[in-house]
Amino acid sequence: MNGIVKEQKIFLNEHYDSVKSIIQHNDDFIHLSNICRFRDDQKSLIFKTEKIHPETIGEKTISILLLFSNPHPLSVKAGLFLSEPRSRSFWQRIFECNHITATEEIDCAVKNWMDKTPDLLSECLLSCSYDSRFRLFFDCLESLPTNQYGDLKKIFKGKRGRELRETMLQRPGRNNLFEVSMRNNITAWVLFSVEAYRCIIGEKDIAKYAPRTISLAINRYLVDGDSPQFWDSLKDLKREIQYNSRTITVYLALIARYKNWKAENGEYYFTIMINQILDSISAGTDE
């Protein structure tokens, strides 16, 4: 395993047999079954997951956490977030941001995906080998990989299943995010999942119609350039949470599924939104 892929164990207790049967026999989890194993004697599930926690600080002055709902099993197998074919353009959009510039080698590798691209990009992200004042951390709210975030509901069924999921995945996941933030002086999280955003903010109905709301706000901003008005129209997508007297600003970006939507000026909505978020974080840090 590289520096991104990690191994994790959760105990399933009385749910062991049902979870094992679902993962081993349901076609929705065929890719997960290739990166996990069961321990009958412990009633536990051991699986591979992923996170990017760079060690190098250098001249990067602002550490931020880019946060997904949970990994995709194919990206875990490849060794890098969003390396499955339909998701790879995420990395192009990230390096198109005004605040983050890749080396020529990485720029070529993400635009012309090769077998060695995950290894090259992994090394780049772990060592912060890109031009930016930001140090980028990547993690997930829940560590168990599935094709879709909603697939976790198929594994952890009913009230007791939801309780087990909260105990084994969601609560440890939140604690991990807070601990990483405390260790690395992170005060801003950028999320790419409405469901994960709602879970973290603690409001189940927040951020309705977020992709449309973001695209309309960007359209107006491209005309008037009014940043305060931009964020006023997206106030549900920028919230503050507290942890041990630390304030963390949580942003909801355009979800990764819409990373290739283009605005009228030919730029990508996804990248424009990331630029706005990073502008906001920079402004708050510079105050």
Please list the alpha-helical segments (H only) found in 55-209. 73-78, 89-95, 104-111, 117-127, 152-155, 158-165, 171-183, 194-201
Q: Look up the CATH number of the domain holding residue 116.
A: 3.40.470.10
**Per-residue model confidence as pLDDT tens digits over 125-172:** 999 999 999 999 999 999 999 999 999 999 999 999 999 999 999 999
Domain contains 158: yes
pTM value?
0.94
Domain contains 40: no
Domain contains 43: no
| Domain range for 253 | 50-286
Domain contains 167: yes
189: left (phi over 0), alpha (psi -120 to 50) or beta: beta
Domain contains 10: no
Per-residue pLDDT, 8: 97
Q: How many domains does the chain have?
A: 1
Domain contains 102: yes
Give the chain's residues under pLDDT 50.
1, 287
Domain contains 62: yes
**Per-residue model confidence as pLDDT tens digits over 178-187:** 999 999 999 9
- Report the alpha-carbon angle 256-258-261, nearest 5: 140
Domain contains 8: no
Up-side HSE of residue 214: CA atoms within 13 Å toward CB? Answer: 29
Per-residue pLDDT, 56: 64
Q: Around Cβ 102, how many Cβ atoms within 10 Å?
A: 22
